[in-house]
Amino acid sequence: MGIMLSAIALFLACSAASGSAADEFQLWYDGQAEVNGYRWKGTRYGELRAGEAIAIFVTEPMGLREHVKVDHPDQYRGEVLTVLKLNLVRDFQTGLYDYNTMTSVFVGVDDLRALKQTFTSAEWCGHVYEELDVRAKNVDLDVRSYFEGESTLSALPSKPNGLLGDQIWIFLRGLRGAVLTPGETRSFPYVADPFERRLRHTAARWGELEIQRQPNAASASVPAGTFQAVEYRLRASDGRDGRAWIEEASPHRLLSWSWARGTEVLDAGELTGSRRLKYWELHAQGNEVLRRDLGLERTDGLAR
C-alpha cells in the first residue's frame, strides 16, 4: 500500500510540472544511470594537477526517516522517497601519491531540493568523511577526520533555497525546467563544495552564491564533441569565480565546469564521454573496455 501511495504521489508531482519538463524527466525512471567521464584539472600544493572525474546521475529510493538508500521498499517502516543522486568522483596524482575523493548529493525528484550530501577523501596521509543531513530546522553536520581538531558533530540552520556544494551541478541542469531565464542573475544561500573546503581545511558554513545565466546559447567544445550550450557564471562569497556549460538540448548534461580564485584554477572538468547504462552490473573482467566510451584513461582494468 505504501509503495502504491508513493507511486501515485510521484505521478501527481510529475503531472503538476510543466508538460515538457515532466516529459523530459521520465528519462530518469528508465532503471539506468547517466555516467559521464571528464578530463579534470586543479591546483594542489601550489601546482596544477591533471586527473579524471566521473559524474553519475541516477534515481533511487531513500527512506525519509533515516535518509539512507532503501533496498526493500515494501519492508521499510516509513515513507520512501524517490531521489536523484549525483556521485562526483575526482581522482588525481600529487607527485608520489594520489587523491581519491567522492561527493554524493541526494535531491528529491519533485523539487530537486537537497536532502543530504556526503563526502569522502582518501590520500596517503589519511581519511576524511563529512555528512550534511538536511532536516526541518537544521542541517546536521557530522565530520570524521584523521586530522586533529576537525572531527565534529554540529548543525547549521536550514536555509530556504539553500544550495549545498556540488548540488549546483544538478540545479543548473534545470531538469524540472530552467532555473534562470536568459540574462537573469540570482543569489542563493550556499555552502561551498566539500572538495574545495577539504583542500583548504575549512569548515562548512553558509555563504552566498551569485548565479548569472548568459543571454544567449553558444557552441561549447569539449573532448566529447561540440554542443549548443547555456553558460552560467558563478561568484561565491568565499572569493571563487566559476563557470558552467550546460547542454542546451535534453538531457542537459554538464559539459564542463571550472572554479578559480584569481588566476589559480582550483577545480575544472571537461566532458570526455557519456553513456546511460546499469554500471553496477558491469563489474566482470572485460567490461573495462566500456571506459573507452567515457574517454577515461584506464581501459585495461589495471592500475596506472
pLDDT at 15: 41
Q: Which three cell numbers stand for residue 54?
A: 566521473
- Residue 180 · residue 213 · CB < 8 Å: yes
Residue 251, preceding peptide bond in cis (omega within 30° of 0): yes
The pLDDT assigned to 34 comes to 98
The answer to whether the beta carbons of residues 233 and 215 sit under 8 Å apart is: no
Angle value at C-alpha 160, between 158 and 61, nearest 5 degrees: 75
Whether residue 112 contacts residue 176, with contact meaning beta carbons closer than 8 Å, is answered with: yes
Do 222 and 40 meet the contact criterion of CB atoms below 8 Å apart? no
Q: How far apart are the first and last CA of the chain?
A: 50
The pLDDT of residue 18 is 43
| Total Cβ atoms within 10 A of residue 119 | 24
Determine the pLDDT at residue 77: 86
pTM of the model: 0.90
Cβ pair 80, 59 in contact under 8 A:
no
Q: What is the structure's pLDDT at 14?
A: 41
Cα-trace Rg, the chain = 19
Q: Cα–Cα distance between 222 and 270 in angstroms, integer?
A: 6
Residue 138 CB partners (closer than 8 Å, separation 6+): 155, 156, 157, 158
Torsion sign, CA atoms 52, 57, 61, 64: positive
Nine-digit cell string for 92: 588525481
Q: How many CA atoms lie within 13 A of 170 on its CB side?
A: 32
Query: How far, in Å, CA of 52 to CA of 41, rounded?
Result: 8
CA–CA separation, 141 and 124 (whole Å)? 25
pLDDT of 180 reads 98
User: What is the distance, to the nearest Å, from the Cα of residue 132 to the centroid of all Cα atoms in its chain?
Assistant: 14
Q: Where are the domains of the chain?
A: 2-294
* Pairing relationship of beta strands 185-191 and 163-164 according to DSSP bridges: parallel
Q: pLDDT tens digits, the chain, 304 residues: what are they?
A: 344 334 434 433 444 444 467 788 999 999 999 999 999 999 999 999 999 999 999 999 999 999 999 999 888 888 999 999 999 999 999 999 999 999 999 999 999 999 999 999 999 999 999 999 999 999 999 999 999 999 999 999 999 999 999 999 999 999 999 999 999 999 999 999 999 999 999 999 999 999 999 999 999 999 999 999 999 999 999 999 999 999 999 999 999 999 999 999 999 999 999 999 999 999 999 999 999 999 997 655 555 5
DSSP string, 16-51: HS-HHHHHHHGGGGSS-EEEEEEEEEEEETTEEEEE
